[in-house]
Chains A and B, each alone.
Chain A
Amino acid sequence: MTSQKSQNKLTLLKLMREDLKHRRWMLVLSSFVQLFFGPIAVLFGFSEIEQQYYYSMDDPNGVYKAMLSAVARVTKSYLPLIMIVIAIVGALIVGIGGYRHLFNRKMTDMVNSLPVTRGKQFDSIYFNNWLIWLVPQVLSLILCMVIMLVKAAPYGFSSMILTSMLFVLIGAALCFACMMHLVILAVVLSGSIFNALLNVVFIGFDLIVIYFTIDLMCTACFDTYVQLPLFASDICWISAPSSGAYFGGLIARGFFLQSGEEIAEVFGSVTAFYLALAATIIVAIVNLVIAYSIYVKRKSEDSETGISNKIYGLCIRCVNSVLGGLFIAELINELLYMRNGSLKIWQMFFAAVASAVVFGVIDMIHGRSFKGFFSHWKQMVAVVLAMEAILVSFLYDITGYDKRIISESSIDTAMVEVYLYGMGSDGSNYIKDPEREGMLIDKEIVYGFNREDYYIEIPVHLAYKLITARRVLWKNYERYIFDPVTRSTEEYVENGNRYYYEDVNIVADRKVGFDFVRSYNICDKDVLEELINVPGFMEQAFPFRSGELGYPQRIWVTDRMGNRRDIEIPPELMEEVFDTSVQDFKDNYSYDYIGMVDRDFVYCLECEYYIENRYADEEDAYWINTMQLYLSEDDVRTIELLDELGFEDYKYTG
């Protein structure tokens, strides 16, 4: 038994030796690149810092800080970055180069006729791939470590450097493993190198492209869709089922960051990082297992064909064909921006063309023949029709996404997103100017800015009211009022009844199932009043808190003709104008006040001011923001003050 085992080990090592003999160039290249660029990155990082060190020679604390900064920059930025790039490119080269025999029928025949199992053949190449990357990597990191220790050890950073090097190695190894496994999977699914490279892209990016295409279509077609912020961990999750590989680098960042706070900032939370890390590792392992299974069962005659796995080929054609069609439909939407219903027809037409072209081109590449364009024409027709069905379901909201309501009893807790509420300048709060067809003007009067709390909790019954409140839908730029209770719609009437609305982003945490997240343009005054009167809401929603707004720099005024002028005003008076307007707002805030577009302006002011940036370091403690102050008759004190200051000539109303 033992003898048999040792015989097997011997054979594997011999196979590895033989394989390595024919891939010496990879080892040489890997050694050169890693041993050259690793130390260069370290020296580059320290050379920058040495300049700071020079300037702070007299201050021991400054020297320490400079060195700390140098070590951190090298270990968290320069060195990891270069090592990740090398790992990813290296994995691509060794992954394709190692299994290159699968692209050559003569070589495949020769390899498969040898008295070695395919599994062992796979293993020998796989382990060599690791050797080719890992040995130079370790040597390079040792060299980097020595350089860093020589420079920074006297300042007490030895343990930090040693730990960092270990994390760099782990992070780079994770990147290498993820990428190599993906590449091997792409290679075993392909019969030629070109198709293998194409598959590396398809497998790696298709899922993330699907996500963003759906996101794009939802944003374009659904009025109530809310684009949620993405953390690094979210991207890892979205791509996890297939392309964890590409985001191995993203995950590896967690190792380089090391501290929990930094990890949380990038990944949302430390837990999210660990979960995404686990998912990435699992995906990498699964990719390898699938690749191995396909390799040992792969038919010899699949070499030199375009694609070796027909089912996979079909999936790739179909998925990318649909994606291509939807993407072009959205592109047409962005480019033409038509004001009539014919846009949908053009969208559907160009989407069908794009979908067929994508399908045919991939078929051509897979079949390695120009004649291959229509080789699966029945599939092509079916896929184009399926794509059109998906497109139509988006364009006409066949799934009822915008009109969907949930029951009050199904809501556990609910929140309203404060950052986007009312004050948001994210582009979603525009209305069509009736005087100038096709032009859009910003309805909002005050720009919001970053806050610590993005959500404010609201009662469940209010959440339900918001969900079922009358709201403006303006899909395809034709406004109408939707009444969720009666499920009926009526045209938006400009003259006569005028519907003003506020943009409310709501997150309803349901007792069972996914969160219900929607963005509503609510025009029900009573519901909005109730929202405004939720305790603490106004304080959270509007940027008028002591010490938060400050440092006004200058004020512009816009007159009735739309001309914008600088107002010559001393800083102390500017602050007085500003404070007075804030006081007016606090005294008057209500739905009527927010819906200012309903009223005549007396002054239209824009105030540029500095605000504190809580997340920046000392150098960027403040950033400039602009607030629009459209003063109406209710802002009595501010108007009086401006009148006293002699700005009557600038009144909007004349």
Chain B
Amino acid sequence: MIEIKGISKKYDDIEALSDVSFEMPEGQVFGLVGTNGAGKSTLLRSICGVCKPDAGEIFIDGEPVYENPSAKSKVFFISDDQFYFPGGTPEEMAGYYATMYPATFNKERFDKLMDALSLDRKRKIHTFSKGMKKQLSILLGIASGCKYILCDETFDGLDPVVRQAIKRLFIHDMDNYGITPIIASHNLRELEDICEYVALLHKGGVILSKDLGDMKLEIFKVQVVFKDQASLDAVRANCKVIAEEHRGSLITLTIRGLRTEVEAVITSQLPIFYEVLPLTLEEIFISETEVLGYDFAEITK
């Protein structure tokens, strides 16, 4: 398990992370979602020991990570733009990481995966396309045998087929090798397919960190048609309405709370029509950040 305890990080006057604390359980795909500049990359770089937080500490399986080779050997960081040695080939990079992760790197698996994705092991990496470089970085991470694979915008630039293949690979390795992929991304639909646990970051802080299933049980979208305004007011008064949208007589409410309790309140107002719909991760993210004032509706006005 990765424990993040009260970490803060500043770049000059910019506060990238502010007193962030949560835990990343192992054996699950962990999604790290956030607005632009929320501090996702800084958090990942801190987890793998690249950055030293100004305050707080990060523990990997109980060990502090910064300047601790033992803890760092459990983490592989796939950055959004991975570095490869100039003129290097995938085979040379594999050799390099094999030296750095001597106990866990699996060269045979790397070769096998390279062949499976039809990537030439002896070709110069600088001749690879952006997507191929991305694939290579993921394969190196998988082959490293590290317990925690930190992926920063990893699915960007991958074609849909490869994306699915990588997702399957992650699931396979979770089951067979016990890896824990930690994926930071803006593409919430991608994450929704694969993530079981999600942390929402906004302006350097964590809005929430929960199991995605639990999260979806606590927030709903209700489409409803009431007879009168008083019914709507009653719902507003008795439920935690996060967002509200009117289209003619059809009202769409985003409500936080248990589904049974919410339905009880709405039915008590005898609506003409109502339907409870689950929220997508993207909708949850948007509604949560809107609550915090991250709303660009004004931009079109």
**Chain A residues with a Cβ under 8 A of chain B:** 14-15, 17-18, 21-22, 104, 106-110, 112-118, 296, 299-301
Could you tell me if A109 and B77 are in contact, using CB atoms closer than 8 angstroms? yes
Q: Encode contact with A along B81-122: 1 for CB under 8 Å, 0 otherwise.
A: 111010000001000100111100000000000000000000
Q: Taking A15-B99, A113-B76 as given, write out 4 further A-B residue pairs in contact, using a Cβ cutoff of 8 Å, ordered by the A residue number.
A: A14-B99, A113-B48, A114-B72, A301-B11
Could you tell me if B79 and A106 are in contact, using CB atoms closer than 8 angstroms? yes
Q: Quick one: which of B50, B70, B99 contacts A18, CB cutoff 8 A?
A: B99
For residue B49, which residues in chain A have a CB less than 8 angstroms away from its CB?
A: 112-113
Q: Encode contact with A along B56-83: 1 for CB under 8 Å, 0 otherwise.
A: 0000000000010110110111010111
Could you tell me if B50 and A112 are in contact, using CB atoms closer than 8 angstroms? yes
Could you tell me if B69 and A106 are in contact, using CB atoms closer than 8 angstroms? no
A298 closest partner in B (C-beta): B52
Q: How far is the CB of A125 from chain B (nearest CB, A)?
A: 15
Could you tell me if B83 and A117 are in contact, using CB atoms closer than 8 angstroms? no
Could you tell me if A113 and B50 are in contact, using CB atoms closer than 8 angstroms? yes
The yes or no answer to B55 lying at the interface (CB within 8 A) is no
Q: Quick one: which of A106, A115, A118 contacts B100, CB cutoff 8 A?
A: A115
Complex Cα distance, B101 from A115, in Å, reads 7
Q: Encode contact with A along B28-51: 1 for CB under 8 Å, 0 otherwise.
A: 000000000000000001001111
Q: A113-B72, A115-B72 are in contact. Are A107 and B52 (CB under 8 A)?
A: no
Complex Cα distance, B81 from A21, in Å, reads 23
Complex Cα distance, B66 from A299, in Å, reads 12
Could you tell me if B51 and A299 are in contact, using CB atoms closer than 8 angstroms? yes
For residue A117, which residues in chain B have a CB less than 8 angstroms away from its CB?
A: 67, 69
Q: How far is the CB of A195 from chain B (nearest CB, A)?
A: 18
Report the 10 A-B pairs with minimum CB-CB distance, sorted nearest first: A115-B73, A106-B83, A115-B72, A113-B77, A115-B69, A110-B83, A113-B48, A112-B50, A107-B83, A114-B100
Q: A17-B99, A109-B79, A110-B83 are in contact. Are A301 and B51 (CB under 8 A)?
A: yes
Complex Cα distance, B11 from A185, in Å, reads 23
For residue A113, which residues in chain B have a CB less than 8 angstroms away from its CB?
A: 45, 48-50, 72, 75-77
B70 closest partner in A (C-beta): A115
A114 closest partner in B (C-beta): B100
A22 closest partner in B (C-beta): B85
Could you tell me if B70 and A106 are in contact, using CB atoms closer than 8 angstroms? no
Could you tell me if B45 and A109 are in contact, using CB atoms closer than 8 angstroms? yes
Q: How far is the CB of A146 from chain B (nearest CB, A)?
A: 37
Could you tell me if B11 and A104 are in contact, using CB atoms closer than 8 angstroms? no
Could you tell me if B82 and A300 are in contact, using CB atoms closer than 8 angstroms? no
Complex Cα distance, B67 from A117, in Å, reads 5
Complex Cα distance, B285 from A506, in Å, reads 84
Complex Cα distance, B49 from A449, in Å, reads 69
Could you tell me if B81 and A116 are in contact, using CB atoms closer than 8 angstroms? no
For residue A114, which residues in chain B have a CB less than 8 angstroms away from its CB?
A: 72, 100
For residue B81, which residues in chain A have a CB less than 8 angstroms away from its CB?
A: 106
Q: List 18 A-B contacts (CB under 8 A).
A: A18-B100, A21-B92, A21-B96, A106-B82, A109-B45, A110-B79, A112-B50, A113-B50, A113-B75, A113-B77, A114-B100, A115-B70, A115-B100, A115-B101, A117-B67, A299-B51, A300-B45, A301-B51
Could you tell me if B50 and A300 are in contact, using CB atoms closer than 8 angstroms? yes
Complex Cα distance, B89 from A92, in Å, reads 28
Complex Cα distance, B69 from A117, in Å, reads 6
For residue A104, which residues in chain B have a CB less than 8 angstroms away from its CB?
A: 83
For residue B85, which residues in chain A have a CB less than 8 angstroms away from its CB?
A: 22
Q: How far is the CB of A616 from chain B (nearest CB, A)?
A: 56
Q: How far is the CB of B73 from chain A (nearest CB, A)?
A: 4
Tell me how many residues of B have a C-beta within 8 Å of chain A: 26
Max chain A Cβ within 10 angstroms of own Cβ: one of B52, B96, B99: B99
Could you tell me if B52 and A299 are in contact, using CB atoms closer than 8 angstroms? yes
For residue B51, which residues in chain A have a CB less than 8 angstroms away from its CB?
A: 299-301
Q: Quick one: which of B50, B52, B70, B96 contacts A109, CB cutoff 8 A?
A: B50
Complex Cα distance, B67 from A106, in Å, reads 18
Complex Cα distance, B79 from A625, in Å, reads 76
Could you tell me if A109 and B101 are in contact, using CB atoms closer than 8 angstroms? no
A296 closest partner in B (C-beta): B67
For residue B96, which residues in chain A have a CB less than 8 angstroms away from its CB?
A: 18, 21
For residue B52, which residues in chain A have a CB less than 8 angstroms away from its CB?
A: 299
Q: How far is the CB of B46 from chain A (nearest CB, A)?
A: 10
A107 closest partner in B (C-beta): B83
Q: A18-B96, A106-B81 are in contact. Are A118 and B48 (CB under 8 A)?
A: no
For residue A18, which residues in chain B have a CB less than 8 angstroms away from its CB?
A: 96, 99-100
A119 closest partner in B (C-beta): B67
Q: How far is the CB of B262 from chain A (nearest CB, A)?
A: 45
B150 closest partner in A (C-beta): A113
Complex Cα distance, B85 from A266, in Å, reads 48
For residue B102, which residues in chain A have a CB less than 8 angstroms away from its CB?
A: 14
For residue A118, which residues in chain B have a CB less than 8 angstroms away from its CB?
A: 67
Complex Cα distance, B70 from A296, in Å, reads 17
Q: How far is the CB of A606 from chain B (nearest CB, A)?
A: 70
Max chain B Cβ within 10 angstroms of own Cβ: one of A114, A116, A117: A114
For residue B76, which residues in chain A have a CB less than 8 angstroms away from its CB?
A: 113
Max chain A Cβ within 10 angstroms of own Cβ: one of B67, B69, B75, B100: B100
Q: How far is the CB of B195 from chain A (nearest CB, A)?
A: 22
Complex Cα distance, B178 from A150, in Å, reads 68
Q: How far is the CB of A15 from chain B (nearest CB, A)?
A: 8
Complex Cα distance, B69 from A118, in Å, reads 10
Complex Cα distance, B282 from A170, in Å, reads 68
For residue B70, which residues in chain A have a CB less than 8 angstroms away from its CB?
A: 115
Max chain B Cβ within 10 angstroms of own Cβ: one of A15, A106, A108, A113: A113
Could you tell me if A116 and B69 are in contact, using CB atoms closer than 8 angstroms? yes
For residue A22, which residues in chain B have a CB less than 8 angstroms away from its CB?
A: 85
Complex Cα distance, B49 from A118, in Å, reads 11
Max chain B Cβ within 10 angstroms of own Cβ: one of A108, A296, A301: A301
Q: How far is the CB of B254 from chain A (nearest CB, A)?
A: 38
Complex Cα distance, B245 from A376, in Å, reads 50
B78 closest partner in A (C-beta): A113
Q: How far is the CB of A301 from chain B (nearest CB, A)?
A: 6
Complex Cα distance, B49 from A112, in Å, reads 7
For residue A21, which residues in chain B have a CB less than 8 angstroms away from its CB?
A: 92, 96
Complex Cα distance, B99 from A106, in Å, reads 19
Complex Cα distance, B73 from A22, in Å, reads 22
For residue B100, which residues in chain A have a CB less than 8 angstroms away from its CB?
A: 18, 114-116
Q: How far is the CB of A97 from chain B (nearest CB, A)?
A: 12
For residue B50, which residues in chain A have a CB less than 8 angstroms away from its CB?
A: 108-109, 112-113, 300
Q: How far is the CB of B94 from chain A (nearest CB, A)?
A: 12
Could you tell me if A110 and B82 are in contact, using CB atoms closer than 8 angstroms? yes
A106 closest partner in B (C-beta): B83
A109 closest partner in B (C-beta): B50
For residue A106, which residues in chain B have a CB less than 8 angstroms away from its CB?
A: 79, 81-83
For residue B11, which residues in chain A have a CB less than 8 angstroms away from its CB?
A: 301
A297 closest partner in B (C-beta): B52
Q: How far is the CB of B128 from chain A (nearest CB, A)?
A: 15
8 Å CB interface, B171-217 against A:
none
Q: How far is the CB of A222 from chain B (nearest CB, A)?
A: 45
Complex Cα distance, B79 from A107, in Å, reads 11
B85 closest partner in A (C-beta): A22
B52 closest partner in A (C-beta): A299
A112 closest partner in B (C-beta): B50
For residue A110, which residues in chain B have a CB less than 8 angstroms away from its CB?
A: 77, 79, 82-83
Q: How far is the CB of B52 from chain A (nearest CB, A)?
A: 7
Q: How far is the CB of A500 from chain B (nearest CB, A)?
A: 66
Q: How far is the CB of B9 from chain A (nearest CB, A)?
A: 9
For residue B79, which residues in chain A have a CB less than 8 angstroms away from its CB?
A: 106, 109-110
Complex Cα distance, B84 from A106, in Å, reads 9
Q: How far is the CB of A108 from chain B (nearest CB, A)?
A: 8
B88 closest partner in A (C-beta): A22
Max chain A Cβ within 10 angstroms of own Cβ: one of B75, B83, B92: B83
Complex Cα distance, B99 from A115, in Å, reads 10
A17 closest partner in B (C-beta): B99
B97 closest partner in A (C-beta): A114
Q: How far is the CB of A86 from chain B (nearest CB, A)?
A: 26
Complex Cα distance, B75 from A402, in Å, reads 69
For residue B72, which residues in chain A have a CB less than 8 angstroms away from its CB?
A: 113-116
